[in-house]
Amino acid sequence: MASQLPRNLTPSLYLDRHTAELTAFLQKIIRLRTVNPPGENYGALTLLLASTLKNLGFEVRRIPIPRALQKKTLPDLLSYPRYNVIGFWNTGAKKTLHFNAHYDVVPVSGNWRYGSAFNPIIERGWMYGRGTADMKGAITSIVFALQALQQSAVRPNFNIEVSFVADEETDSALGTGWITQYGKLRADYAVVGEGGEGNAICCGHNGVVWLNVQIHGKAAHGSLPAKGINALEKMSALVLALSGYKRQLARRTFRAPNGERLHPTINIGGVFSAGEGGKINTVPATASFTIDRRVLPNENVGAAERELTTFLKMAAKKIPQCRITVSKISDNFSCYRSPTHPLFIALQASVTRIRRQPTQAMVSTGFNDMHFFAQVKNIPTLGYGPGGVDYHGVNERVRIKDLVDSAKIYADLLTTFQG
Ligand SMILES: [Zn+2]
């Protein structure tokens, strides 16, 4: 019915005229509290997202994670089933551009300015609520970019594949991790709707290795400490030894395209406890702590883990009677693609056109789901979306203008990038 469309209706104009509809959609999906952990309301929200994509003419798969697999990976959360939604719009193009966003949100605490984190309020151009910034805002921008293209009868240069996924806030194993392995994706390029925002485009992120270190001592009566091996004291010595390792890491760098210098880091933390039987008048027999090692894009995650484990074992050997066990909690790849890639050049031009400001290419110190597309699927991947303020915090919010701009940028990219 192209002849009945208002003349010169561009996707941008459509988005300017439908901002109220866009914000109402975001409010609706925020009210469906998809808090993870444990993973609430995944069923209801994925039904809504699947039907939204169907209404846009997409072939849609709403895929439940097989119960047996969930039993293996999340045995305690079987009453919270996991789903991913994958949509495909065959425009007849040769190549396919993929948009990815996670729909889970982190738990809420603290006093929100407007009462509830799940009753999103708009004030002075900002919407407040859990998931506005991270990252139901991006879901909204993706949906409305596609709607704007269709309503203005503009044909994208690509087939479009969309994934709305679970569990990014825990470890992505049953979300983007699962779909990039088993989802039969057809993507040639991917844009993850977070990592970059405003005038910053994310072309990579750090990886991570999470380790648990347990120290094995020997219990004894608190009145005769010399008869035991104090695991807490051994742990303290080991933690002090790690400061030498920190200095070693600080000398390594990765220079991001925007000139920022990134260094590998370790954060020592976790839950410290003396284990069972820990008591004021007992020599602690065990102690444990965790290490969060951030891995630069020019480092290898496996090598970083081996190096750190070796360091810990050597350091423990130098401490009398210090026996330790090091175990991996989880890891994630880093990723990086040079901003000279045509996908970057095209997105940069789209951001500049819509936002009228120069862009920068950044590398994120935190990680997101980009690495699954970049490393597992081995396709060019960038991070860009509406972003926001106070991610994971109280009064998380997104600027309405950024939601609209991101939708315009996605639509612009789809009609200008040649692939
Ligand atoms: Zn996120």
pLDDT at residue 1, as a whole number: 45
pLDDT at residue 7, as a whole number: 65
For residue 305, give both structure tokens.
Answer: 């883990």
Compute, in angstroms, the gap from residue 390 CA to the centroid of ligand 1: 12
Task: Tell me the three state secondary structure of residue 210.
Answer: strand
Peptide bond into 370 cis (omega under 30): no
pLDDT at residue 279, as a whole number: 87
The answer to whether 144 and 159 are in contact (CB under 8 A) is: no
Compute, in angstroms, the gap from residue 226 CA to the centroid of ligand 1: 50
- Matching residue, tokens 């509830």: 116
The answer to whether 150 and 57 are in contact (CB under 8 A) is: yes
Domain spans in the chain, listed from the N-terminal domain onward: 2-205+334-416, 207-332
Rounded CA gap, 269 and 155, in Å? 51
Task: Tell me the three state secondary structure of residue 151.
Answer: helix
Compute, in angstroms, the gap from residue 259 CA to the centroid of ligand 1: 25
Cβ density class 88-124: b for 16+ within 10 Å, e for less: bbeeebeebbbbbbbbbbbebeeebeeeebbebebee
When computed from its CA atoms, the radius of gyration of the chain, rounded to whole angstroms, is: 24
Compute, in angstroms, the gap from residue 289 CA to the centroid of ligand 1: 26
Compute, in angstroms, the gap from residue 327 CA to the centroid of ligand 1: 27
Per-residue pLDDT reduced to its tens digit, 72-100 = 999 999 999 999 999 999 999 999 999 99
Compute, in angstroms, the gap from residue 102 CA to the centroid of ligand 1: 7
Compute, in angstroms, the gap from residue 133 CA to the centroid of ligand 1: 8
Compute, in angstroms, the gap from residue 297 CA to the centroid of ligand 1: 19
Q: To which H or E segment does residue 290 belong?
A: strand 286-295
Strands 207-216 and 323-332 turn out to be: antiparallel
Compute, in angstroms, the gap from residue 135 CA to the centroid of ligand 1: 5
Strands 96-102 and 189-192 turn out to be: parallel
Strands 189-192 and 381-383 turn out to be: parallel
Task: Tell me the three state secondary structure of residue 226.
Answer: helix
Per-residue pLDDT reduced to its tens digit, 41-53 = 999 999 999 999 9
pLDDT values of the chain reduced to their tens digit, one per residue, 419 residues: 444 556 689 999 999 999 999 999 999 999 999 999 999 999 999 999 999 999 999 999 999 999 999 999 999 999 999 999 999 999 999 999 999 999 999 999 899 987 789 999 999 999 999 999 999 999 999 999 999 999 999 999 999 999 999 999 998 999 999 999 999 999 999 999 999 999 999 999 999 999 999 999 999 999 999 999 999 999 999 999 999 999 999 999 999 999 999 999 999 998 777 777 788 999 999 999 999 999 999 999 999 999 999 999 999 999 999 999 999 999 999 999 999 999 999 999 999 999 999 999 999 999 999 999 999 999 999 999 999 999 999 999 999 999 999 999 999 999 999 98
Task: Tell me the three state secondary structure of residue 373.
Answer: helix
Compute, in angstroms, the gap from residue 134 CA to the centroid of ligand 1: 4
Counting every residue written for the chain, the total comes to: 419
Compute, in angstroms, the gap from residue 205 CA to the centroid of ligand 1: 13
- Matching residue, tokens 């039907």: 51
Rounded CA gap, 367 and 264, in Å? 13
Sign of CA pseudo-dihedral 401, 402, 403, 409: positive
Strands 121-123 and 126-128 turn out to be: antiparallel
Compute, in angstroms, the gap from residue 291 CA to the centroid of ligand 1: 22
On whether the 207-332 domain is CATH 3.30.70.360, my answer is yes
Compute, in angstroms, the gap from residue 247 CA to the centroid of ligand 1: 31
Compute, in angstroms, the gap from residue 171 CA to the centroid of ligand 1: 11
- What is the DSSP-derived secondary structure letter of residue 129? S
- What is the CATH architecture of 2-205+334-416? 3-Layer(aba) Sandwich (3.40)
- Matching residue, tokens 């994120």: 364
Compute, in angstroms, the gap from residue 164 CA to the centroid of ligand 1: 12
Compute, in angstroms, the gap from residue 169 CA to the centroid of ligand 1: 7
What does residue 127 show for φ and ψ, rounded to 5 degrees?
A: -105, 130
Compute, in angstroms, the gap from residue 136 CA to the centroid of ligand 1: 9
Rounded CA gap, 385 and 135, in Å? 9
Compute, in angstroms, the gap from residue 384 CA to the centroid of ligand 1: 11
Per-residue pLDDT reduced to its tens digit, 387-403 = 999 999 999 999 999 99
- Matching residue, tokens 């609430």: 40
pLDDT at residue 4, as a whole number: 55
> What predicted TM-score, i.e. pTM, was given to this entire model?
0.92
The separation between CA 363 and the C-alpha centre of its own chain, rounded to angstroms, equals 14
Compute, in angstroms, the gap from residue 72 CA to the centroid of ligand 1: 25
Per-residue pLDDT reduced to its tens digit, 142-183 = 999 999 999 999 999 999 999 999 999 998 999 999 999 999
